[in-house]
Amino acid sequence: MSSTALEACEKNGSAVSTTTFTVVNKCDYSVWPGILSNAGIAELPTTGFLLQTGESKTITAPTSWGGRLWGRTLCSQDSAGKFFCLTGDCGSGTIECEGKGAVPPATLAEFTLDGDGGLDFFDVSLVDGYNVPMLVAPRGGSGDNCTSTGCVGDLNGACPSELRVTSVDGKQSVACKSACEAFGSPQYCCKGAYGSPNTCKPTAYSRIFKNACPRAYSYAYDDRTSTFTCGHSADYTITFCPSPKDNPR
């Protein structure tokens, strides 16, 4: 059987059904993607890797997989060999994240795949802040809401000073915190008295993110305009620093 025919069989459920994520780096700097599976779901064979400018990597996941993917930037190793990134670091001390999530701020691509032929749910979230432009584009799949989403604009340059994370020398904005991380108040974190859709509303800070990236989550209850679905075995391309013309609006 040809590889194309085998792939078709797998997609149709005649073999182990899988979804592919093709991760592409179009930034003019290196990005180290990190991957974390949701609670109770096995980690994928790779949980972290390097993409130089122009490189891509395809990852295969079970169609029942759920988790998140993000980009780490400005990474290096110290004299003891410990791996560390200035933004999006997962604290594992290695390139592989090994079951650890991103330290905010980080732009997140989130997925809940349906292995029974139902709908995949996916989004790009700025709830934990922003560090790198990202676009998620489904390939194949079906449904009126099976479309690209992401945050293509550069929010680091437009980040308010009180949310800004700067480079080691303090000269460059390299990430933008959420108001929750910066201030910790229930109003910004959608907790306590603000822990429901009726009480937690957009703020001046979340609107900065929403105006720049209308399809991305800007705060915890931003579901209506920020959750996307695909049926019938979609695959996904995740691009860091996509072209501005790809900005989903």
Q: Is residue 241 part of a domain?
A: yes
Confidence band of 147 (pLDDT split at 50, 70, 90): very high
In the structure encoding, which two tokens stand for residue 195, read together? 């822990």
* Per-residue pLDDT reduced to its tens digit, 152-166: 988 999 999 999 999
Range of the structural domain that residue 131 is part of? 3-153+216-246
CB 101 within 8 A of CB 109: no
pLDDT tens per residue, range 8-53: 434 444 445 899 999 999 999 999 999 999 999 999 999 999 999 9
**Distance separating alpha carbons of residues 74 and 195, to the nearest angstrom:** 35
Is residue 164 domain-resident? no
Q: Where does the pLDDT of residue 248 fall: very low under 50, low under 70, confident under 90, or very high at 90 and above? A: low
Which pLDDT score is estimated for 217? 97
Encoded amino acid at 207, one letter: R
- In the predicted model, what is the mean pLDDT of the chain? 91
Average of pLDDT values for 200-205?
A: 96
Query: Is 159 a domain residue?
Result: no
In a domain, 146, yes or no: yes
Q: Which residue has the tokens 């592409």?
A: 24
**How many structural domains comprise the chain?**
1
Residue 54 lies in a domain: yes
pLDDT value, residue 3: 42
Residue 199 lies in a domain: no
DSSP 245: G
| Domain-embedded: residue 71 | yes
Q: Is the entire prediction scored with pTM above 0.85?
A: yes
Residue 184 lies in a domain: no
For 89, the token pair is: 């670091």
In terms of Cβ atoms closer than 10 Å to its own Cβ (0-12, 13-18, 19+), residue 41 is middle
Peptide bond into 105 cis (omega under 30): yes
- The CATH number covering residue 26 comes to 2.60.110.10
